[in-house]
Structure 1
Amino acid sequence: METDENQQNQTEGPILPEGIGRFNERLKELIGQESMRAFGRKVGISDTTIRKYLTGETEPTLSRLAAIAVACDISVEWLVTGEGTKEPWPEDMYWGGPATAAQESPCVCKDEFDEEYALIEGYHVAVSTGHGAFGEGAEVTRRLAFRKRWLNYRGFRPEQLKVVFARGDSMEPTIKDNDSLLVNLASTNPIDGKIFVVRLGDQLYAKRIQKRWDGGIELISDNKEYHTQAIPASELEHLQVIGQVVWIGKDIS
């Protein structure tokens, strides 16, 4: 009886035991000569978690499998089971997204997916100590699925949202290194106490903004080991507010 129960539990996860080869072997094939960190950034998963997948310590959820498949432009079926072609699914099928339960079918009609989810463009751009800008001239490296119902509730328009990642510890504990940040480009008017992505010179920062009585602005780090940066009113022309951070995605290793 116990053996039957164990066998049943083994078949409930997204990685099917009857697949040809093991998932970690297919993952290793996808990584190829890339570094663990570079591959993790591409698929939106921390390198620590990728290592756990490779050692078999843990298995990815369906949403993580979807992220890997989309980023690597491969078939979800091949990634999950090892069967079938490695090429992506036909255009009339699409992966179910982060909310898909493990016991459900791994694919749904694309029309159903498009009706429930919006894909937000993600860029390999770091904020806090990073350089450059996302948007014009920047390459889209991934897309994250968000429920349209949530976006509508928050008053967001998908085309005005972008995803970047955090670098450094200046905003800990709120934002940790390598967290994904959803930025609303439509919100560029400073709001006291809110976190914004700003460009100062050629660097991007994610900081809390506080307006000063003299017309200047303070850029505040949640990590108190970092000093508050005061921008006087006379120098605000060098400060560009890119957008407000409205969601933080964390990877729990």
Structure 2
Amino acid sequence: MSTLQERLKEASRDAGISQAELARRVRVTRSAIAHWFSGATRELTGENLIAASAALGVTPTWLAKGTGPKTGAAAGLTGGGVAVWDSPEDLPDDDSRVWIDRWDYFCSAGDGGIQWEIRQKDALPFNSEFFRAIGSKPANCRLVMVRGDSMEPFLFNRDMAMVDMSKTAIRDGVVYAIMYGDEPLVKQVFKKPDGSLVLHSYNAKYPDKDIPLLQMEYVQIIGEVIYRSGSGFAAN
């Protein structure tokens, strides 16, 4: 069976995509991509797997494990595969398509009280392979719009983030949608040895928020951010 390194090189060669361009599309650093292509990274999972397979026009299962079809309905749209549509009825029938509700939860990626509005918008389509690859169930997921700049360049103002509301167990360094008191936020979360939390912003102009144990009752983990889409770019 081929290695991840071999599949990445094959797919990037077939797609005519350089490592620098792949880093830009996946929104990871060039050094991270270099690790992928050198063999230092032995597996891709979650959001990076989905983004890389879409950028390269291959299926997530093939890229991750070397099994199943290399390309097909689950692969990213490339070239003439882009579909332009005004309403869901304009799209051809596809049993593998899953519709995810889009909400205007205004998760603040900035500082200050942003209203948590719940105005449901039109759903957006995803392939069922996407959810199998990242281990999430569509029924648990919501698309939300981020407001603010504190998570740049990971998330930009008005970017879309998919939140899996079943994934609320805190894992160090993972980005979550949370409620802190009456303040909705999207932050990278770190847990201290004593059980208290640090809410970290990617943008250096925003200081970390320390949540002591006495204030943990005011913290509610809404869900893990498992996918993002918008104007974000990879750091050089």
Place the TM-score, normalised by the shorter chain, in its bin.
0.5 to 0.7
User: Which residue type is aligned with residue 95 of structure 1?
Assistant: D
Instruction: Tell me by how many angstroms 1:132 deviates.
Output: 2.1
Q: Is 1:172 equivalent to 2:149 in the alignment?
A: no
Query: Aligned residue pairs: how many?
Result: 148
CA contact (8 A) 2:174 2:188 kept: yes
2:90 counterpart residue number: 95
2:214 to 228, 234, 250: 234
Q: Partner of 2:87 in structure 1? A: 69
Identity %: 24
Q: Distance in 1 between matches of 2:189 and 2:90?
A: 38
Question: Paired residue for 2:199?
Answer: 219
Q: Which has the higher contact order (CA 8 A, sep 6+)?
A: 2
**2:168 alignment partner, SS class:** coil
In the alignment, the residues of structure 2 paired with residue 241 and residue 142 of structure 1 have an alpha-carbon distance, to the nearest angstrom, of: 25
- For 1:1-253, what aligned pairs fall within 5 Å after superposition? 63=83, 65-66=84-85, 68-70=86-88, 94-96=89-91, 108-109=92-93, 113=94, 115-128=95-108, 129=110, 130-132=114-116, 138-251=118-231
Structure 1 residue runs of 5 or longer lacking an equivalent are 1-60, 71-93, 97-107
Q: Is the 8 A contact 2:156 2:231 kept in 1?
A: no
> Per the alignment, in what secondary structure is the counterpart of residue 153 of structure 1?
helix
Shift of 1:233: 1.0
The structure-2 alpha-carbon separation of the partners of 1:147 and 1:192, relative to structure 1 and needing over 3 Å to count, comes to: same
Secondary structure, counterpart of 1:131 in structure 2: coil
TM-score (normalised: structure 2): 0.59
| Rg (Cα) greater in structure | 1
In the alignment, the residues of structure 2 paired with residue 95 and residue 213 of structure 1 have an alpha-carbon distance, to the nearest angstrom, of: 53
Q: Distance between the aligned counterparts of 2:142 and 2:96, measured in 1?
A: 19
Report the 3-state secondary structure (helix = DSSP H, G, I; strand = E; otherwise coil) of the residue aligned with 1:177: coil
Distance, in Å, in 2 between the alignment partners of 1:235 and 1:215 is: 11
Per-residue deviation at 1:69? Answer: 2.9
Q: In angstroms, what is the RMSD of aligned CA positions?
A: 1.8
TM-score (norm 1): 0.55
In structure 2, distance between residues paired with 1:124 and 1:193: 25
